[in-house]
Chains A and B, each alone.
Chain A
Amino acid sequence: MAYPQTELVATPQRGGRGLARLLRNLGRNGKAIAGIAILLLFIAGALLAPVLFPDDPSRIVGGGAAPPNAEHLLGTTARGQDVLALTLWGARSSLFVGFAAGLLATLVAVLVGLAGAYFGGVLDDILSLATNVFLLIPGLPLLVILAAFMPPGVGTVIIVLVITGWAGGARILRSQGMSIRGKDYVAASIVTGERPLRIMLRDILPNMASIVMMTLLGCIIGSIGAQAGLEFLGLGDSNTISWGTNLFWATSDGSLMLGQWWIFVPSGLAIALVAFALALCNYAVDEITNPRLRKPRRAANAAAPTRVTADDAEEGVA
């Protein structure tokens, strides 16, 4: 799902204080707290999977397609595997791949965006062209043929996710980078002969902290979703247990048509909750950096006249 493009209103300052301030404000924002809490819950679940279910989760442990019961809290799959075990173990792969791919994609986006913004000229033209092309070419079809032709495995999945995921962030980062590059303090650094890398890292990047964070969160969301889609089609690594492969097997085994909801609901719900948690964090970062988006103290129409609270005048003639 395309993350909505909001107006870029990062208020720049010199140095890295921007990031510290942002993190502090996040700590106070309800949405961010909720999002981080959910994420931590899932990460804990993923880490605890080997503890709670020490054996191979794809082991057959019970009767096929049993609904949730005391022994198997989320029931069993058509083959008799414990759904809860599969879900928890699945978190490990899905979260790992999602975060890894998201991180790498953001890295590529930062490099491309900053380089294009800073150096301009022919380099910028080439990078912009590449960015726009990758933005335009539809993601899923590209993902499919890339994954189909490359040997199956986790590495492949991460690589193709990065290839299809970097462009969105690159465009935004370049745009923001360019507006910062035009600021006077950057010009001052250039004139005093600072090395380009230093300027990019010290003057430009810290002031883009919030945009970079939003890009990172967006890339992770995208990676998790795209990975799920890939695996759902059967292009993932069939040896791994992940939320996407769980859904693939659920479909192959016909669980949906047979009404065995406990088989396909948990993994999908997990994906949704993690994506939602990340989206909440994104929403929070957006609100912090763009104060206009914050919830107003009272509901009011956009074209309402100035509120009058002079002693004998009527309250809020809106």
Chain B
Amino acid sequence: MSALLEIEDLVVEYVSDERAVRGADRVSVSIGEGEILGLAGESGCGKSTVANAVMRLLKEPARISGGAVRFDGQDVLRMSTERLRDWRWRETAMVFQSAMNSLIPVMRIGDQIADIFTTHEKMSKRAARAEAVRLMELVRIDPARLKAYPHQLSGGQRQRVVIAMACALRPRLLILDEPTTALDVVVQQEILAEIKQLQAELGFAVLFITHDMSLMLELSDRIGVMYAGRIVELAPAAALRQGARHAYTQALLGAFPSITGPRERRVGLAEGTRFTDIGDLVEVAPGHFVAPGDMTVRTEGNR
């Protein structure tokens, strides 16, 4: 099966005068058409770095210093600026973490949506606005809200607007960077349902970034767990539900109590646990990859 998105040995470095830090360290993962891949991990593990790298949105001092990113066979990293600009949003779109910050406060919602169409499809303002109305209906928001400014909408509405904008050109890949982290639990559920429905309707693939494992398990087909810029486990969601193989994944899963069922004692990682020398992924079961490596516990004594 030829993948829609192929990330191969991706290395992203943050370069300063003194040294270079690897935000993503030889990351390899692929996403097929219509597949939902979740990327999980703690803050700073590199999942957002990878997501932003795909669309080449990272800013200085970040630099992609190794590897390849191929979308439907095309090398994204070697695209010219103009080709990249055309490719963006059309083939791959992104929903950022905070919708409030993604929308420009001094422009009406309708204009911000119309921009997409006037730029990519060379539509007239009027035609673009008509499309915007259709988009609003897609996410079930009253089209009259198009005249509003971002601060006049509720948090949930803003997130739905942003998701609608992402779907505007029917991209084949949608990257969701922590789309529900800034929302309360009830709205979270609504948004997730929205995403699931749109995915069923429009058939795009999804790269879903979050630190919330339970959300991930619910939504994804496959899940990748990242730690310190490397992928430590990559498996179908079902397999992970049954039993994760890497200690880190086990600890992550173990940290989320279930709301129903008998009371269980939560077991996480011991204080000061570190994973070092994380090797490349090894297939331990069909489709289930784990990275070998050392786990050390730094106590008062050593180092």
Direct contact of A and B (CB under 8 A): yes
CB pair B65 A310 closer than 8 Å: yes
Of A92-100, A265-273, A298-306, the one touching chain B: A298-306
CB pair B77 A308 closer than 8 Å: yes
Looking at chain B's contact residues, the main secondary structure is mixed
Q: Is B103 an interface residue (CB 8 A)?
A: no
Q: Is B213 an interface residue (CB 8 A)?
A: no
CB pair A308 B60 closer than 8 Å: no
| Whole-angstrom CA separation of A317 from B81 in the bound complex | 7
Q: How far is the CB of B115 from chain A (nearest CB, A)?
A: 14
CB pair B78 A314 closer than 8 Å: yes
Q: Which listed residue, B53, B59, B61, B65, touches A297 by the CB 8 Å rule?
A: B61
Q: Which listed residue, A297, A309, A311, A317, touches B60 by the CB 8 Å rule?
A: A297
Q: Which listed residue, A296, A307, A318, touches B64 by the CB 8 Å rule?
A: A307
List B21-60 residues whose CB lies under 8 Å from chain A: 52-53, 56-60
Which bucket holds chain A's interface residue count?
10 to 19
CB pair B78 A305 closer than 8 Å: no
| Whole-angstrom CA separation of A318 from B53 in the bound complex | 15
List A43-77 residues whose CB lies under 8 Å from chain B: none
CB pair B79 A310 closer than 8 Å: no
CB pair B66 A305 closer than 8 Å: no
Q: Which listed residue, B59, B61, B64, touches A308 by the CB 8 Å rule?
A: B64
List B119-177 residues whose CB lies under 8 Å from chain A: none
CB pair A313 B78 closer than 8 Å: yes
CB pair B67 A305 closer than 8 Å: no
| Whole-angstrom CA separation of A317 from B56 in the bound complex | 11
A317 with B63: in contact, given A305-B57, A306-B58, A310-B68 (CB under 8 Å)?
Answer: no
| List of A residues within 8 angstroms of B11 by Cβ | 310
Q: Is B284 an interface residue (CB 8 A)?
A: no
| Whole-angstrom CA separation of A317 from B77 in the bound complex | 9
| List of B residues within 8 angstroms of A313 by Cβ | 77-78
Q: How far is the CB of A311 from chain B (nearest CB, A)?
A: 7
| List of A residues within 8 angstroms of B67 by Cβ | 310
B 82-107 to A, binary, CB cutoff 8 A, 1 in contact else 0: 00100000000000000000000000
Q: Which listed residue, B52, B60, B80, touches A307 by the CB 8 Å rule?
A: B60
Nearest to B9 among chain A residues (CB) is A310
| Whole-angstrom CA separation of A178 from B52 in the bound complex | 35
| List of A residues within 8 angstroms of B57 by Cβ | 305-306
Nearest to B11 among chain A residues (CB) is A310
| Whole-angstrom CA separation of A299 from B11 in the bound complex | 23
Nearest to A304 among chain B residues (CB) is B81
| Whole-angstrom CA separation of A134 from B243 in the bound complex | 70
| List of B residues within 8 angstroms of A308 by Cβ | 56, 63-65, 77-78
Q: Is B247 an interface residue (CB 8 A)?
A: no
Q: Is B219 an interface residue (CB 8 A)?
A: no
Q: Is B240 an interface residue (CB 8 A)?
A: no
A310 with B81: in contact, given A305-B56, A305-B57 (CB under 8 Å)?
Answer: no
Nearest to A296 among chain B residues (CB) is B60
| List of A residues within 8 angstroms of B198 by Cβ | none
| Whole-angstrom CA separation of A298 from B63 in the bound complex | 13
| List of B residues within 8 angstroms of A314 by Cβ | 78
Q: Is B251 an interface residue (CB 8 A)?
A: no
Q: Which listed residue, B60, B77, B84, touches A310 by the CB 8 Å rule?
A: B77
| Whole-angstrom CA separation of A296 from B16 in the bound complex | 11
Q: How far is the CB of B10 from chain A (nearest CB, A)?
A: 9
Nearest to B16 among chain A residues (CB) is A297
Q: Is B62 an interface residue (CB 8 A)?
A: yes
CB pair A309 B64 closer than 8 Å: yes
CB pair A300 B60 closer than 8 Å: yes
Q: Which listed residue, A298, A306, A309, A310, touches B59 by the CB 8 Å rule?
A: A306
CB pair B81 A305 closer than 8 Å: yes
CB pair A306 B81 closer than 8 Å: no
| List of A residues within 8 angstroms of B79 by Cβ | 317
Across chains A and B, which 6 residue pairs bring their CB atoms closest together, nearest first?
Answer: A305-B56, A306-B56, A306-B58, A308-B64, A308-B77, A309-B65
B-side residues, CB < 8 A to A, are 11, 52-53, 56-68, 77-81, 84
16 example contacts (A-B, Cβ-Cβ < 8 A) are as follows A304-B81, A305-B57, A305-B81, A306-B57, A306-B58, A306-B59, A306-B64, A308-B56, A308-B63, A308-B64, A308-B78, A310-B11, A310-B65, A310-B68, A317-B79, A318-B81
- Beyond known contacts A304-B81, A310-B77: 20 more, CB 8 A cutoff: A296-B60, A297-B60, A298-B60, A305-B56, A306-B53, A306-B56, A306-B57, A306-B59, A306-B63, A307-B63, A308-B63, A308-B64, A308-B65, A308-B77, A308-B78, A310-B67, A310-B68, A311-B66, A313-B78, A317-B78
